[in-house]
């Protein structure tokens, strides 16, 4: 036939066709390594401590992956807030996959994790415009000038060691923090 009459064929043609599902954190890590625009590989253990991971799936294939953890910034509420640490979209994903996935993940987290009051994510201004957050109803709240993640005078609460790490694992440029309150 000249035109598809049902569904989108083997590749989804609309983000509405994607099913947002819970994802094993190791699968999320592997998908991130395939698709993340700037930080495909990370050597820190945050993936092992992920609170939640989600994928966008269509007919058994993944098109996006997201990993959520407690906020990196120790000054932020550690149990009432979640940070979207990695969000990777595959090259064959349909338009609007990211903003739809953000909206669906927000609803899932609100239901599954009722103690979480606020979601945050950091936009790397050198790579992205923040369009996905705007489209999903998030609000830009804070601008950060960037810089090193090394904190040799701070102690990692999980192992008591200094918080030093190579900057290879994190973008060090300017960022904008986006927030999505779950209870308004």
Render pLDDT for 52-97 as a digit per residue (tens, 0 to 9).
999 999 999 999 999 999 998 888 999 999 999 989 999 999 999 9
In the chain, what is the greatest distance between 2 CA atoms, to the nearest angstrom? 66
Q: What does the mean pLDDT of the chain come to?
A: 82
Distances from the Cα of 98 to the Cαs of 56, 60, 152, 158, 164, in angstroms? 9, 18, 35, 32, 32
Q: Residue 180: exposed, middle, or buried by beta-carbon count in 10 A (0-12, 13-18, 19+)? A: buried
Number of Cβ atoms within 10 Å of the Cβ of 86: 24
Instruction: Over range 105-132, report the average pLDDT.
Output: 91
Cα–Cα dist 121/85, whole Å: 7
pLDDT of residue 39 exceeding 90? no
Bridging pattern class, strands 151-155 and 162-163:
antiparallel
More confident call, 12 vs 97: 97
Per the rule left: phi > 0, alpha: psi between -120 and 50, beta: everything else, 170 is beta
Query: What is the pLDDT at residue 40?
Result: 45
Q: Which residue has the tokens 């990370």?
A: 42
Query: What is the pLDDT at residue 38?
Result: 58
């Amino acid at each position: 036939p000249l035109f598809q009459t049902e569904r989108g064929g083997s590749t989804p043609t609309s983000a509405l066709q994607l099913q947002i599902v819970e994802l094993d954190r190791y699968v999320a890590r592997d998908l991130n390594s395939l698709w993340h625009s700037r930080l495909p590989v990370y050597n820190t253990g945050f993936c092992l401590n992920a609170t939640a991971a989600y994928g966008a799936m269509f007919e058994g294939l993944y098109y996006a992956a997201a990993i959520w953890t407690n906020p990196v910034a120790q000054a932020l509420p550690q149990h009432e807030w979640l940070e979207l640490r990695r969000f990777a979209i595959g090259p064959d994903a349909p338009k609007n996959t990211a903003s739809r996935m953000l909206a669906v993940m927000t609803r899932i987290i609100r239901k599954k994790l009722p103690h979480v009051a606020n979601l945050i994510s950091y936009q790397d201004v050198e790579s992205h415009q923040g369009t996905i957050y705007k489209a999903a109803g998030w609000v830009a709240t804070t601008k950060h000038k960037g810089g090193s993640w090394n904190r040799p005078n701070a102690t990692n609460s999980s192992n008591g060691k200094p918080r030093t790490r190579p900057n290879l694992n994190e973008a060090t440029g300017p960022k904008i923090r986006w927030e999505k309150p779950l209870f308004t």
